[in-house]
Structure 1
Amino acid sequence: EKHCPQDGILGEELGTTRPDARRRWILDPIDGTKTFIRRVPLWGTLVALAEGETVLAGAAYFPAVDELVVAAQRGGCLWNGKPARVSEVSRLSDALVLATDERMGTPAQVRALDGLCSRSGLVRTWGDCYGYLLIATGRAEAMADALMAPWDAAALQPIIEEAGGVFTDWSGRRTAFGGNAVASNAALAQEVRAALGGPR
């Protein structure tokens, strides 16, 4: 507000300020609220800057584990000050697949995610924003969430993309505003999205 008074703000707790502004800051002070309440250390704070639906930059900070990942379009992705890169795993049977909650979404989405998970090497529900950090830093290969608000997804899109990964909605559209999200390394991008019912 003080430094960029012309910019809009969109946030889970903050609502919307100046919705017609050309640029918007998209904020989620605590992504993973239920995780935070239970004192599980995998919650984070998300900040993104967008023009329309183009996310220019994103940052995610995980105070309990002291991990910070930041990215900007064509500027790369840094994890605690060092370059971040997705893994090169190319076989789904060798991949670690993550989800915030595999029961979330429509019955068709739950079945699609179950199908993806059944073909992967390992499945875990280290969810919310921390799962996307694991993708960007090469510690997991794919993550899918059936329900994602803009404040959940916006910061994560440039982080995944600038680390060499692919971030889309379940239909395969490159967006943080699709209502759901799937992130993966590049090697498994097509196979993961096909399993979820996206482009083949």
Structure 2
Amino acid sequence: MPAHPVRHIAVMGVSGCGKSTVSQLLSIEVGAAFSDADDHHPAANIDKMTRGMALDDADRVPWLHTLGEWVADHDRLGSCTVLACSALRHSYRDQLRSAVPTLVFVHLCGSRETISARLAGRAGHFMPSRLLDSQLSSLEPLGADEAGVTIDLDHPPTELVRRIVDALSLPRKVST
């Protein structure tokens, strides 16, 4: 549990773990701006992944900078954010936190089998399922020095949102 009120959340994990769906629902639940990191990839990154090639750190650095700036811009405006972003490595999360040090991470974690089954049922996404093993080998779970929580993804999205809200003691948006 972070020592400050949570204003910025990055929902992280490998492709197919449910980041986008959970992040969208969470942003609605808490009244925060939402963005999907996939929407910020330059065309060269999307092309590379579409061809089944994993991104390297050189591909990710400018992308992570753009994401950090998106959160920082909202922070300057006083608004809260939820970002769906793989953030697989500690160094990537450090780069995002360099823009907004209070960014909190929610790691959606599950078995390879569960995630693989989800990827097999997903259509229309540029990330091929054959890159799952590459992502799993790159994944560094949240460290003890990182603000955030790990949530087992083996639940429906609405239940995952409830667990995140409870774990982070987030205020729910008041309906009008």
TM over 0.5: no
| Bigger strand fraction | 1
Q: Per chain length, whose mean CA-contact separation is higher, i.e. which structure has more relative contact order (CA < 8 Å, sep 6+)?
A: 2
**TM-score calculated relative to the size of structure 2:** 0.30
**TM-score calculated relative to the size of structure 1:** 0.28
| Bigger helix fraction | 2
